[in-house]
Structure 1
């Protein structure tokens, strides 16, 4: 009898330890990119009489082949029951550079929280802002894999697209439980003042509609999180294969960013995308295209950019994916912004062009 009790206790401890063990996951994505970037930029800060108080200019001419790591990461995540209705949840995710160009480990999503069947999920730590909760439109991979900054080291040609969703330090995000099976997912976020980055308290919210019929729609808002100011974002996607004989998924995103600093204009951004699976391959494959347009980039009047990317991917296995893509971004700037100091004016003139062809291999584990 004692041996049976001991065996039962050991089995129970083993199950408990297994439940508490974290899941180790990650991905390595390495690509070879041919990059041709040219830019001429000039910034002047003048008084009302046109006298230049401060001036800055830079010329960029890069023509190179780079080996880059794109969003490679290593993470640990898991959960453990506290009560019958509540679990502790956690995630520790770190960005790594597989190419070795940057040997610094960066923090990505890092949080500790609870998930309650009645009250929803709470995460506290470093979280993606609520804007990301509705972002299912971006199809770009590799070098152009987001809305905002690309991988250029030079600041003149680095940020050539609209403000993007980022990870917010000292933040709490709540995901509400679904109400009576309605196809709506609501999230709300609060972030504490970040003195290191000069950010005030911020907040955000997002609502996503998805009833599993091939159509989704989302709207999100944040204040003083990704920028000093407000961002409103709306998205919609439709899988045409659900409605007609056209195996294409279309997506559209529209965003308005209203910066707080004096003299700024509202930045307006548009993204449209399309992805189509290919059926004449032994393994799953697809091709895609995405167009980005940004007006009043960074809040500067008459600073605009256009970007077009085409690409494809082939899945040797579910976790081994080959990528190929090509894209170009053109930015044209002849803008101005009045200063918070009366009688002063900032002007910015620049022309930038970035052309990239890349191919890479992604491995997930």
Structure 2
């Protein structure tokens, strides 16, 4: 009996120790990109070494009760080529609880719930540039796109529990503005995703004073054609979005259309993809428009070791810029164009 009790105690301690141990994870994604930039009468070109979404993180959970776990995550972006004098930047960093009945709560620095419905963007590396709505220097050239969801400080996220038989996932966010010296307001957002696991998804999201000073609404849908024909492994995606800036002249309106296809005639798994972006009234400025087309591919040497290659071009009309204090200046710098191709290696661990 004593031996049985001792064995049970050792087993319990082992489980507890296993639960307490965090998971260390990350990835390094480096590319070499040839970039040709033009803005008005200015131009520049050359090869760049870029770090793309490289990160390090710790995450884990610990039982609090029979139905509730404490969850935590510390994740930081790592600028491997260190071109901006800040090697580490905060990504999703939170402490929370997960309950079988009430769902999951996260408090800290969280990804906006608007991003929870985005499985449409397929661009990688240099062209993973959604969210660059304006340039911040008269001398700078940038591939410009619609507003994107970001990571929000001082935020609380609630993910509702999934209900058996109902293919919906609901999430909500509250973002607290604790700086009484500015005019910003606390914000909120919510998203709803439909995914029955049969090759079709649809989502809608809305936020106010979360990702921008104003409101943003986004809708997405994807369709896996292999569901209807196994010999045609193509997934199509579409995203439509409107951003209403408090300081804007017009609503920013944009859409994304994407397609990716798996290839079977290689020794290892591979995919090719294309994506078209179109945005009008960037940052709420009437006539400040952009379009972008990218074609690329991925080759999986192993599941965690992926080679990338891509080529694309972004064209922008009537480019404006903001000064160092964030004030949008009148007039424009002319039209801009960015052409780039490149590739690299992504390693996950």
> Considering the TM-score relative to the shorter chain, is it more than 0.5?
yes
* Aligned equivalent of 1:166: 150
Distance 1:78 1:197 in 2: 36
Give 1:313-352 correspondences, 5 Å limit. 313-333=298-318, 346-352=330-336
Alpha-carbon distance change, 279 to 162 in structure 1, aligned in 2, over 3 angstroms? same
TM-fit CA distance, 1:349? 4.2
TM-fit CA distance, 1:147? 1.8
TM-fit CA distance, 1:255? 0.2
Superimposed CA distance per residue, residues 63-98 of structure 1 (whole angstroms, 9 cap, x where no aligned partner): 110111100000001111101111111110000012
TM-fit CA distance, 1:222? 0.4
Q: Contact between 2:143 and 2:337, CA under 8 Å: does it hold in 1? A: no
Distance 2:301 2:182 in 1: 42
Give 1:143-222 correspondences, 5 Å limit. 143-149=126-132, 156-158=140-142, 160-195=144-179, 199-222=184-207
Moved over 3 A (4+): 1-8, 152-156, 196-199
Distance 2:46 2:18 in 1: 49
TM-fit CA distance, 1:178? 1.9
Distance 2:11 2:340 in 1: 56
**TM-score where L is the length of structure 2:** 0.91
Q: Is 2:213 the partner of 1:228?
A: yes
Look at both structures and tell me which one has the larger radius of gyration over its CA atoms.
1
Distance 1:292 1:62 in 2: 23
Superimposed CA distance per residue, residues 215-264 of structure 1 (whole angstroms, 9 cap, x where no aligned partner): 00000000001110000000000001101342210000000000011x52
Q: Contact between 2:143 and 2:315, CA under 8 Å: does it hold in 1? A: no
Distance 2:183 2:51 in 1: 29
Distance 1:296 1:153 in 2: 17
Aligned partner of residue 114 in structure 2, secondary structure: helix
TM-fit CA distance, 1:60? 4.3
Aligned partner of residue 145 in structure 2, secondary structure: coil
* Aligned equivalent of 2:111: 128
Could you tell which deviates more after superposition, 208-217 or 139-148?
139-148
Give unpaired runs (5+ residues) of structure 2: 322-328
Give unpaired runs (5+ residues) of structure 1: 41-58, 337-344
Alignment root-mean-square deviation, CA = 2.2
How many residue pairs were aligned? 337
* Aligned equivalent of 1:50: none
TM-fit CA distance, 1:29? 0.3
Q: Tell me which protein shows more strand as a share of its residues.
A: 1
